[in-house]
A and B are shown apart, each in its own frame.
Chain A
Amino acid sequence: MDPRAEFSNHLTRRTFLGQTARGVGGLALGTMLMPELLGAGKAGTERVAGLPGLPHFAPKAKRVLCLFQSGGLSHVDLFDHKPMLKQMAGKDLPPSIKGTQRLTGMTSGQGSYPCTPAIKDGKLCGKNGLWISDLLPHLQTVADELCFIKSLHTEAINHDPAITFLNTGNQQPGYASMGAWASYGLGTENANLPAFVAMVSQGTGKNPGQPVFSRLWGSGFLPSSHQGVGLRPGANPVLYLQNPPTVDGEQRRALLDDLAQLNEERAKEIGDPETITRIKAYEMAFRMQTSVPDLTDISQESRETLAAYGPEVTRPGSYAANCLLARRLLERDVRFVQLFHRGWDQHIALSRQLPNQCRDIDQPTAALIKDLKARGMLEDTLVVFATEFGRTAFSQGGFGNPGAGRDHHGRSFTVWLAGGGVKPGFEFGATDEFGYNIAKDPVHLRDLHATILHCLGIDHERFTFKFRGLNVKLTGVEEAHVVKGVLA
């Protein structure tokens, strides 16, 4: 990008607000700023512009919903059906399949690597017969919307580097997360809410699940205004949203009017455009105090809708509750919504833990897909159901031992996409008969990132941020390719 354009753009969008501070310098400040100055968004909202020139081409998706399954979801049990594992159950994975690549320290010393079939049967679902485990009966009903990538792979074999890789494009800390990139590049259509919202839930498969880190929704080297803002239940759905005791809206309004007047006086006196930006930030904060409670208030949701998401939807902070909030966020044009659901890390007691973990997400995920579809939003929302790696086709621990599980497996695993820009009821890529190595159409994490950006109308090679002398990309320094095969 031309440095001058970049500069002027940066001046304007170095704030959450996105408009040039000088543009409103002469504005008489009333109780509220004039929304039209910020550009038109949906009725009653302001928008924050993204980078000039973006999107690069017409996007298929306007927003992204990432349902991140943290800990390493077992593709072997849930999506990547392999009859061979049943035939070979209990027998060692053939050395030709296992290969010589590294394993984690948890299984590298195992004496044997017994093939372990899926813990439960599944069925071919939807018009195109996509296999989905019976542990996910609700998801089976939306198979026609899903686009599976069964040949994803990553170099990382342990949680911290793998989860950081998937969420930020690099195994090492210090990089910007997917949502931060989206916010940076595209801005938001609704400045009354953050452009990127992150929600964490704890699964019942394994509690506590592997830790997650704020870097997963962080802004890295991008301006910190692009970091994901946490949304949680309780009095402060956004941190510090709640006024101090007894301060109500009227009193706060009066204080902000005084504050704006004092600030404006002073800004004129000392010629400080930044102060005007700050006045606007306070107004935006004030509006967030209304828009966020409105967002989190689900009392107007119909009984049918609540029932569709399942009983857990009434439990604040649950995956189900977060799914419903996700829909409400997307309805309000939040650019990037990401759920982090912990507890997918079944090293042990796979047969006990996995059904619980599946129950957490099955009904709410399916309900969310249907809900988006019914509201006409699926067509321009890209849903990404992802995890940091899959799990081994062999057992960690003795075969048949109820305490046994599966180790991490980055060589091949499954994620699915849905909605804006991807083929519905489709599967791409394949693993070998053991679900262990990729047999067809490998897709690297980088390619997944390139594809997500593509659906947003962004060419990943031209979407860069200059940092430490490099034009840094979400897709990193190695070659990445849009997975054209999944595009609708």
Chain B
Amino acid sequence: MPPVLRSLAFLALPLSVIAAEEVRYNRDIRPILSENCFSCHGPDEKSRKAKLRLDLPADALKEHKSGIPIVPGDLKKSEVWARITSGDEDDVMPPPKSHLKLSADDKAKVKAWLEQGAKYEDHWAFIPPRRPALPADLRGSPIDAFVDQGLRRSGLKANGEADRATLLRRVSLDLTGLAPSAEELDAFLKDASPDAYEKQVDRLLASPHFGERMALDWLDAARYADTNGFSIDGGRHLWLWRDWVIQAFNDNKPYDRFLLEQLAGDLVPNATDAQLIATGFQRNNMNTHEGGTIPAENLLNYNADRLKTLGEAVLGLTLACAQCHDHKFDPISQKDYYQLYAYFNTLGDAGLDGNGGNNSGPAVAKKTVLRTDEEGRLQARIAALRRTLATRDDAVLAAWIQEQRAWLADRTKGTRLHPINLTKISTPNSGGGFTVEGNTFKGLGGAAYDLLGELPKTTEPIVALRLVFQPKMTPGGKPAPKKGAAKDAKVAAEPPAAPAPVAYQVSAVDVTVDKVPGDQVNIHKLQKFSRVTASSVDAAHPPGNVRAMNARLAWQPDLKAAGDQSLTLTFVKPISAAETPSITTQVYFGTGRPPLQGQLFAVTGHDDGTDLPQDIIALVQTPEGSRTPEQTAQLWDYVARTGEALRRTRVDLANAEERLAALTQPQSTMVMNIAAKPRETFILNRGDYSQPTTKVGPGTPAALPPLPAGAPANRLGLAQWAVMKENPLTARVAVNRLWKTLFGSGLVASAADFGLQGEWPSHPELLDWLAVEFMESGWDFKRLTRTIVTSATYKRGSAASAEMLAQDPANRLLARGARFRLPAELIRDNALRASGLLVPQLGGPSVNPYSPFDLWREVSHYGSTPATAQNFVQDHGDKLYRRSLYTYWKRTAPPANMVAFDAPNREVCTVTRGNTTTPLQALVTLNDVQFAEAARVLAARILGRAGDDEARLRWAFREVVSRDPSDKELAVARRALARERQRYAADPARATAALQVGEAPLAALPAPEHAAWMQVGALLLNLSETVTRN
């Protein structure tokens, strides 16, 4: 919890305000005692001093060695008061070495409390919420009645309702994450009916984007990500669970079912696939297959994380504190902790699992629960794209043939092979068995070879690198070990027995050249290749695969081909041996077989190889008019599969096919189960896996209401307990989280901690009213949402007067509407929305939009592991424009443009994100390709609208910030436009170049005009208001 909010609980009610009324233990005193006293005089027995508990009246009011700590109504006889006010360093409490100190205000409160009779109260959050009385003259929402009570007490005057445009923008962002379009805004402003706003609320609640918006906060809490997190941080697949969450919100699944199915869907009688998928919730924890780690310790960490998440996301309890000792503040003993732990410890998971892109067990293959109406459209799209590929385009074909003939004609031009003198070979996880001699390298195996060499002293530009491989495996050679990190453990042993010769594969080749020799390729200076050719090709493994940087795609020579085989990579920019005499090559075999011996050559002149199969070469060389229709068809088929002109069509087809499969085919996902032989649970001394003490069974904390009658002694029982009406926490925590989504801060500012160290609610009665309403409505989440967003409190204008800023800077009293910067994902989503680029598909596998650098490879185990997600490969087509909650989340290197805006790394449960303002954020929205491209496409969209500059600017303002510009703003924008027009009119080539950003097709517009408006687009996308929910 940011301290800013925490402290406000105090600020909101300084003693001067309280003075008129009674001091209340829960609101005023407990926070002081908890902060300053309970760690030594509280629930934790081990750290208790003087055998005194100040949290229990029974103990605090009785005689102790040094007196009676608290004598109600008698300040002088209360030892506590003597200690608090003592001037003696040895007597004063808290002791100086604790670095804790009571402020004058704290002391005054304690004094007043003692004088008023020292009445204790049970901790508010552990008492089930009751429906508070409403004022008899209630008009409007009860929410407003509770809020107004607080305002009256403070004397602050509340703002009136925000203007309608602001309101629509606010509620649209809050309920769907997307601002209204200019057209939606206009329609709303024209709607004069008294329930115009409510109609919009209902429209938004029914939008499929409602589920996406609400899922976002739950994904943070549930620490959802696409990788395993620890160590090598390989890929996993849990998006079926993510999509279950979205669908659940859209279906308005009652929140008690929402929780119950996630905690124990597998144990529900006749569990459905959907209920099984839901249990992925508690599989979102990080896991590892790091060699050398101890499975029992890992399993402890996994379960500890599950408890931490259960505590913070569901119960609002910092359960994690009780892993090593009794909780220091809350009534949760270490025994309580391990009883809760026992519920999860029955899982049939393994301590080392999840390598090679495979889900760690238990995992199942199921169909998604996401319902969309896309299937028919997708099939039609797939058919259309296939038709496009199948329909010969003679112009494309002719151009392609021209190009190939030119290449083939150049093939023999001055080709010279220069041996590269190799000086070193290495591979990460093998100790020996490697040699280089001349330009020949020999290796035993391994996922990749790193080869250091000296370029030949030629003055000719080096156009390509050629790798030549021996035809057969060296006798005694062995295939690459395929056991991942575990091979960390292995020492290069005796030469293994000779296996049968096998075909080798090459998955990727990286090259860097430099002035100084380097053993490894420099990932900051990788050479780019324009063409990859091979001496022979297995039809399923073309040489172009090498450029895909995907461990599962490789080149493989034709098994029937005899003799040495080679792979040649032509550089985009030829290399000068004089400038950069050193060359480092990494040959990566991915999941394929490593060749064991080969040579390296520098190519000058021209690569004499081709990536075309022999029969295609013959057809290319056949004079026009001499091909049979079948031959022409064969040629076109090849162009359709490989030609650059049809690349985008192929991308679209692949994306559509993947999408259809995601919606209709079973996919792997991680789930909960009960092991055939469940593990036993022990209380662990100091939380250490190797120090088990007393055996315990499943159970819930003693200080909270007991399990419902008949609850089974398994996770289902735990889930039933969590959602029973008597549970004082679950409903409060849920409504508070929704409040936080809608107001930027919860009624309880410490949204993850409702315990004794948590915050006193700003509006306790309101919190309870909402919690009771929520439960009594059948945990109806959409109804709750509607109730809140139709209140006057929600609809207030957000302008902050000087008085408000002085008296209530963080707006705890809600005199004004909330204003806060949008979460990271929504900033990108709304740039995409405004530009029209947004692809509003729901769910499916996560995607990799633009990244400024391969941030994965920088930190990963690329080249040494079968784990996936070790190098970043950008997606194309629709996948660049999906909503940001579908961006692939690699925990050790999360998306940089999201992290800049406080997105968490999803390693652990996050209930409250930070909200900072930094220069790095400005760099993202100004310079990230994603945003620059959005500005370009937004500009084209603006230019697509009829009207003069002013009309266009007005529309653009409405589209981006949901309001008309003022005259002054218009003037600034027009001036900017005029300046940029002038700039680009004077330099059309610059305009053309300025538009070269992003992969979205370039609109057919005059470049200077388009580029000028692109700057205006950037201006709008960078407005403070654009990234703010106001």
CB-defined contacts of B232 to chain A, threshold 8 Å: 211
With A225-B916, A282-B919, A469-B757 as known contacts, state yes or no: A274 contacts B821, CB within 8 Å. yes
Contact: B99 with A466, CB < 8 Å?
A: no
Residue of B nearest to A276 (CB): B1024
Do A311 and B1015 have beta carbons less than 8 Å apart? no
| B contact face: mostly helix, strand, loop, or mixed | loop
A226-237 contact mask (Cβ, 8 Å, vs B): 1 or 0: 010100111010
Question: With A273-B805, A405-B491 in contact, is A281–B919 under 8 Å at CB?
Answer: yes
Asked if A44 is at the interface (CB within 8 A of a chain B CB), the reply is no
A110 to chain B, nearest CB (A): 10
> B952 interface residue, CB < 8 Å from A?
no
A480 within 8 A of B: no
Residues in B with CB closer than 8 Å to A159 are 231, 290
Task: Decide yes or no whether B333 CB sits under 8 A from chain A.
Answer: no
Enumerate chain A residues within 8 angstroms of B923, measured Cβ to Cβ: 238-241, 285, 288-289
Cα–Cα distance between A251 and B491 once the two chains are bound (Å): 59
User: Chain A interface residue count: which class?
Assistant: 35 or more
A204 contacts B by Cβ under 8 Å: yes
Q: How far is the CA of A206 from the CA of B519 in the complex (A)?
A: 10
Name the segment of B291-299, B604-612, B634-642, B664-672 touching the other chain: B291-299
Q: Is the CB of B3 within 8 A of A240?
A: no
State whether the Cβ of A263 lies closer than 8 Å to any Cβ in chain B.
yes
Q: Is A371 an interface residue (CB 8 A)?
A: no
Residues of B within 8 A of A229 (CB): 920
Instruction: Report B667-696 CB contacts with A as 1/0, cut-off 8 Å.
Output: 000000000000000000000001000000
Q: B154-191 interface mask toward A, CB cutoff 8 Å, 1 = contact, 0 = none? A: 00000000000000000000000000000000000000
Does residue B1022 face the partner (Cβ distance < 8 Å to A)? yes
| Residue contact B293 to A105, C-beta cutoff 8 Å | yes
Q: Which of B1-52 contact A (CB under 8 A)?
A: 1-4, 6-8, 10-11
The docked-state distance in angstroms from the alpha carbon of A277 to that of B176 is: 27
Q: Are B1019 and A282 in contact (CB under 8 A)?
A: no
Interchain CA distance A312-B752 in the complex, whole Å = 49
Q: Tell me the bound Cα distance from A242 to B929 in angstroms.
A: 10
Bitwise, B1004-1030 to A at CB < 8 A (1) or not (0) is 000000000001001100111101101
Q: Quick check: A11 and B809 within 8 Å, CB to CB?
A: yes
CB A268 to nearest CB in B, in angstroms, measures: 10
Query: In this assembly, does B993 line the interface, its C-beta being within 8 Å of a C-beta of chain A?
Result: yes
- The 8 A CB mask of A319-359 against B (1 = contact, 0 = none) is 00000000000000000000000000101110010001000
- Within residues 253 to 289 of chain A, which ones have a CB less than 8 A from any CB in chain B? 254-255, 258-259, 261-263, 265-267, 269-275, 277-279, 281-282, 284-285, 288-289
Q: A241 contacts B519, CB within 8 Å?
A: no
B520 at interface, CB cutoff 8 A: yes
Task: Tell me the residues in window 400-434 of chain A with beta carbons closer than 8 Å to chain B beta carbons.
Answer: 401-405, 407-408
B983 touches A106 (CB 8 A): no
Evaluate contact between A215 and B907: CB separation under 8 angstroms. yes
Q: Which residues of B contact A274 (CB under 8 A)?
A: 819, 821, 917, 1024, 1028
A441: Cβ under 8 A from any B Cβ: no
Write out the residue numbers on chain B whose beta carbons fall within 8 Å of the beta carbon of A272: 798-800, 819, 1024, 1028, 1030
Within 8 A of A (CB), among B875-933: 891-894, 896-897, 899-900, 902, 905, 907-908, 914-924, 926-929, 932
Q: Report the bound CA distance from A236 to B855 in whole Å.
A: 12
Partner of A266, one of B293, B862, B1025: B1025
Check: A396 CB closer than 8 A to any chain B CB.
yes
B805 touches A215 (CB 8 A): no
Of B8, B432, B996, most A-chain CB atoms within 10 Å: B432
Q: Is the CB of A14 within 8 A of B916?
A: yes
Q: Which of A2-10, A86-94, A141-149, A374-382 contacts B (4 or more CB under 8 A)?
A: A2-10
Tell me whether A240 and B755 are in contact (CB under 8 A): no
Contacts of A247 in B (CB 8 A): 994
CA–CA, A466 to B864, complex, Å?
41
Q: A200 in the interface, Cβ–Cβ < 8 Å? A: yes
Determine if A254 and B976 form an interchain contact, defined as CB atoms under 8 angstroms apart.
yes
B753 interface residue (CB < 8 Å to A): yes
Verify if A315 is at the interface (C-beta below 8 Å from B): yes
Q: In the docked arrangement, what's the CA distance between A317 and B858, Å?
A: 10
Determine if A470 is an interface residue (Cβ-Cβ < 8 Å): yes
Known A-B contacts A105-B292, A204-B518; the reply to A224 vs B757 at CB < 8 A is no
B321 is an interface residue with CB less than 8 A from chain A? yes
Task: State whether the Cβ of B762 lies closer than 8 Å to any Cβ in chain A.
Answer: no
User: Which residue on chain B has the smallest CB distance to residue A222?
Assistant: B914
Name the interface residues of B219-236: CB closer than 8 Å to any CB of A.
229-233
Q: Is the CB of A211 within 8 A of B892?
A: yes
Which of A174, A224, A402, A408 has the most CB atoms of chain B within a 10 A radius of its CB? A224
Contact B852 A240 (CB under 8 A): yes
B99 CB, min distance to chain A CBs, angstroms: 5
Contacts of A318 on B, CB cut-off 8 Å?
A: 518, 522
Bound complex: CA of A102 vs CA of B896, how far in Å? Answer: 39
**B861, CB-defined interface residue at 8 Å:** yes
Are the C-beta atoms of B291 and A105 separated by less than 8 Å?
A: yes
Name the B residues within 8 Å of A345 (CB-CB): 488
Give CA–CA (A337, B80) in the complex, Å. Answer: 47
| B758 at interface, CB cutoff 8 A | yes
In the bound complex, do residue A215 and residue B905 qualify as a contact, i.e. CB atoms below 8 Å apart?
Answer: yes
- CB neighbours (8 Å) of B321 from chain A are 468-470
Contacts of B905 in A (CB 8 A): 173, 214-215, 218
Q: Are B916 and A270 in contact (CB under 8 A)?
A: no
Nearest CB of A to B484, in Å = 12
Q: Does B662 contact A (CB under 8 A)?
A: no
The answer to the question of B377 belonging to the interface, with a C-beta cut-off of 8 Å to chain A, is no
A-B contact pairs, 23 of them (CB 8 A): A15-B916, A16-B920, A102-B294, A174-B907, A204-B519, A207-B428, A208-B860, A211-B233, A211-B861, A229-B920, A232-B853, A233-B525, A239-B896, A240-B896, A259-B1019, A266-B1025, A271-B800, A272-B1030, A282-B922, A316-B524, A348-B491, A348-B492, A469-B755
In addition to A174-B908, A233-B524, A258-B976, 9 A-B residue pairs with Cβ atoms within 8 Å of each other are A106-B488, A224-B902, A229-B920, A232-B524, A261-B972, A262-B972, A288-B919, A311-B516, A352-B431
Closest 9 CB pairs of A and B: A469-B757, A403-B431, A397-B491, A3-B7, A349-B431, A104-B292, A285-B922, A403-B492, A285-B919
